[in-house]
Structure 1
Amino acid sequence: MMQNSAEAPKKQESKHFWGFPFTHFTYFFMWQIIFGYLTLWMEQVGHMNGAEAGIVFSAMSGLSLLFQPAFGVWSDKLVFKKNLLFMISIAAMLIGPYFQWVFLPLMHINSLLVALITGVFLCFIFNGGVSVIEQYVQRASLANRFEYGHSRMGGSLAGMVASFLGGQLFIWQPNAIFWACSISATILTGLLLFSDKIDMDNAAAAGDTSNKLDMKQIGKIFKIKNFWYLSIFYIGASAIYDVFDQQFIIFFKTFFNTAAQGTQAYSYMTTAQIGLEFLLMIPMPWIINKIGSRNGLIAYGCILAIRIIGSALSPSLIWVIVLRLLAGFEMPLVLVSIMKYIAGAFDIRVYATVYALASNFAKQISVFVFSALAGNMYDSIGFQHTYLILGAIVAVVTVFAAFTLKKEDPVQAGEVDKQGETKA
């Protein structure tokens, strides 16, 4: 009887697993295209300066302060219903038409207006939408009994493909990158309709809070010290990661004679970086189970600080490329660690809310503040000095987290079994 019950989950996992890596792929293909090439497009095609481009990202981050808490609670209420997911995927289908036919006419009217409208539009799809996608797949992994990190490999593979293809498309026709997003969003909508299936017999394993979550419970989260420590870590580390990457392609291009050479080299380099990320996602769940998710978060902060400060001090292009490849280690560390850490350090019943508030909402507060500020700093004091400041912030916050973040429960986090053995 024990053998038969052990085999049942394997059959369910095989049946209900494969749609989710493809969901991750289609969504994060669009993510990588937008966050990898939007700044370059706004500079070369949209004719925005660093400060104006910074306003776009600040608007995205600022509005996510409204979207993410609402999306977190809404996701807890919907659980496995796909209403919000469909709204996001359908909005993403309009990315191509917006940048082809709406952005430039608005730019001729008022650059601040177009920056704000673009921020609202992209925030709904990405800054707000990412937590919806991630929470849904995380719940599915609990119900369908698969490792979230293995589904997230689809997102890493998407980043690799998008980085390479995006560079080629941009050189061929800049607006083509946005139409590629529309195509990917159409496929995502189809996957949500026909592919992603949930083992509803095991749905309770996902921590169904649809009948229990209320504002009183949400209020209690803000009284937990560890929630604030985790939020501070994300404000000063993961948010700086995004700010650092927003205009990195402009810094990278300064090492080349022509913009086309820089764009093509950037696409190759980012493809290699995300290829490394993809490969490391395979063993990363086991590595985090071995070292602990709290230590995984600290390791992520250390590598990020080294990469940012090192980029500021790099004497040559080779060093910039080597340091950029370190991002291939960062993302698997933080993606797997944060999922396991929240599960092991907080009440599983409020998992989605803590994830939305601590790792997304708090992060976007920092991105909102730093995006416009960093954009102005790039224009006034240059990339190197700005990177030194950003890197120092990450280093200080990582040291703070090392002394304040509480140790997770390894059994509750899924790092070890009840006998204390590390999970494979």
Structure 2
Amino acid sequence: MSGGGGQGAAAPVTGPRFVDSIKRLVLWNYGGIYFFYFVAWQFIFTFMGLWLDDQGMSSTSIGRVSTVMALTALCLQPLYGFLQDRLGFRKPLFAFVVVCAALIGPFFQFVFKPLIDVDQTLAAVVGGIYLSLVTYAGVSVVEAFNERASRANEFEYGHARLFGSLGGSFASAIGGVIWATNPDNIWWAASFAALVLGVLLFVARVPRQAAGAKQAGGESKAHKVSKEDIRGLITDRNFLGFVVLMMGTAALYDVFDQQFSIYFSDLVDHPDPEALFGTVVSIQILLEAVVMLFTPAIINRIGAKRGLQIFAGILVVRVLGSALFTSTEALIAWRLLAAVEMPFMLVSVMKYITRMFDVKISATAYMLGFGVAKSLGVALFSGVFGRGYDKYGFSESYVVMSVVILVATILASLLMGDDKGREAPTGELADGGAGELDDERRSAARA
């Protein structure tokens, strides 16, 4: 299944320059959406493990929270993908994610904490389901909506996405201070960030073709997504390889990070390891934003498949290095290496999907190929490695994890086709619905 962009002689693809896009208000709007969403995201994933550990949860139970989060996302993402492709640029699904994020503070204070004292298994299930609505399931809606909007408004997805890195860095920087005053305040800060996010989503510019469809048809019509479209996607060999890669790399990126803060805090030589970890994460994500400036141009030149292979290689080095070299300086270095790793993954994932598959179902392709595959991997590996940490220790488990990543990368590389020379549709064609829009306009003219 082709993404609708023409395939040339593997010539490098060009894209909008950051110096031009930064002058446009629409980039700042979508950049702000990313900033405040990932402020809330970073609060959750930087401090959730520490907070649950402080509440008395075992490593196995903490792993179970992540497993439930992944399973919830696994159930929701196919539906979310189908709905978002039909909604196009309309915002109700995104708004639902924002409302759930805004209630994070009350949930942790009045539901999650009391449940942990009653029953850790029940708390893991309830907490995992709710947190997934904001994170593992919710992020798929955020990313799919914003990627489509970036092509419609003709700016690079990566240039808006770097604001998410800045938001994460900001959250990590202030998170340590908030944690020191009262760990529970972390969750109220996440709620505040979500409220600002809601305002920015409300005023976000509706791309031209969505407005045009509404005017032409008299009402905002849903996209036509057929069973044949979905069947063609899931039987595509490129898609199968992409799924294997996401299960064996992107999922283990999250599994590795879930309890790395505990590993880090136990080994570093520092009077306040939690504050040090927050500072390191803040620097890492700030560097990530800098790398994100240049990543779209690099991926346009080398291709998204090669970008994904580079991401996987860096992940192997980071996981294996964390197992073998555990001095304070080394652990800081391994964490900072994620500043290169994450931009290559994010940009390459989006460019591979929109270049290799039909953009009309880009949300479905993203949520099945990235979201569901990643959720399956997290659900499978969180419990396995959570038990491994308890039984064998972190270092031994990290060695096994690095081998799994390497094997998955090799297998996926054999299945995935090369996207170099392909270009994703932009502007009026970004939503893959130009033909439908023309039909609606012709019908309206005849009427």
The whole-number CA distance in structure 2 between the counterparts of 1:356 and 1:284 is 22
Matched, 1:67 2:76: yes
Change in 2 beyond 3 A, CA 1:227/1:399: same
Moved more, 138-147 or 406-415: 406-415
Change in 2 beyond 3 A, CA 1:409/1:210: farther
Matched, 1:142 2:151: yes
The whole-number CA distance in structure 1 between the counterparts of 2:221 and 2:227 is 12
User: Which residue of structure 2 lines up, in the alignment, with residue 228 of structure 1?
Assistant: 240
Query: Pairwise mapping of residues 9-408 of structure 1 onto structure 2 (< 5 A)?
Result: 14-44=24-54, 46-194=55-203, 196-201=204-209, 210-256=222-268, 261-408=272-419
Change in 2 beyond 3 A, CA 1:174/1:386: same
| Percent of residue pairs bearing the same amino acid type | 36
The whole-number CA distance in structure 1 between the counterparts of 2:160 and 2:223 is 28
Q: Is the 8 A contact 1:96 1:181 kept in 2?
A: yes
Report the residue type matching 1:390 in the other structure.
Answer: M
TM-score of the superposition, structure 1-length normalised? Answer: 0.90
Q: Determine helix, strand or coil for the equivalent of 2:267.
A: coil
User: Which residue of structure 1 lines up, in the alignment, with residue 443 of structure 2?
Assistant: none
Change in 2 beyond 3 A, CA 1:94/1:292: same
Report the residue type matching 1:198 in the other structure.
Answer: V
The whole-number CA distance in structure 1 between the counterparts of 2:341 and 2:212 is 32
Q: CA RMSD in A?
A: 2.2
Deviation of the 1:185 alpha carbon? 0.6
Q: Is the 8 A contact 1:209 1:350 kept in 2?
A: no
Where do 5+ consecutive residues of structure 1 fail to align?
Answer: 1-5, 416-424
The whole-number CA distance in structure 1 between the counterparts of 2:300 and 2:66 is 35
User: Which residue of structure 2 lines up, in the alignment, with residue 422 of structure 1?
Assistant: none
The whole-number CA distance in structure 2 between the counterparts of 1:392 and 1:204 is 51
Q: Is the 8 A contact 2:85 2:223 kept in 1?
A: no
TM-score of the superposition, structure 2-length normalised? Answer: 0.86
Deviation of the 1:204 alpha carbon? 8.6
Q: Determine helix, strand or coil for the equivalent of 2:135.
A: helix
Q: Determine helix, strand or coil for the equivalent of 1:254.
A: helix
Report the residue type matching 1:321 in the other structure.
Answer: I
The whole-number CA distance in structure 1 between the counterparts of 2:377 and 2:21 is 43
Q: When the two structures are aligned, how many residues end up with a matched partner?
A: 402
Q: Is the 8 A contact 1:32 1:162 kept in 2?
A: yes
Q: Is the 8 A contact 1:143 1:198 kept in 2?
A: no
Change in 2 beyond 3 A, CA 1:77/1:389: same
Change in 2 beyond 3 A, CA 1:79/1:54: same
Change in 2 beyond 3 A, CA 1:181/1:79: same
Report 1 or 2 for greater relative contact order, CA contacts < 8 Å, sequence distance ≥ 6. 2
Change in 2 beyond 3 A, CA 1:411/1:219: closer
Change in 2 beyond 3 A, CA 1:384/1:80: same
Change in 2 beyond 3 A, CA 1:399/1:11: closer
Deviation of the 1:126 alpha carbon? 0.9
Deviation of the 1:77 alpha carbon? 1.0
Where do 5+ consecutive residues of structure 2 fail to align?
Answer: 1-15, 214-219, 427-447
Q: Is the 8 A contact 1:298 1:401 kept in 2?
A: no
The whole-number CA distance in structure 1 between the counterparts of 2:279 and 2:354 is 36
Deviation of the 1:373 alpha carbon? 1.5
Q: Is the 8 A contact 1:280 1:329 kept in 2?
A: yes
Report the residue type matching 1:105 in the other structure.
Answer: P
Q: Determine helix, strand or coil for the equivalent of 2:24.
A: helix
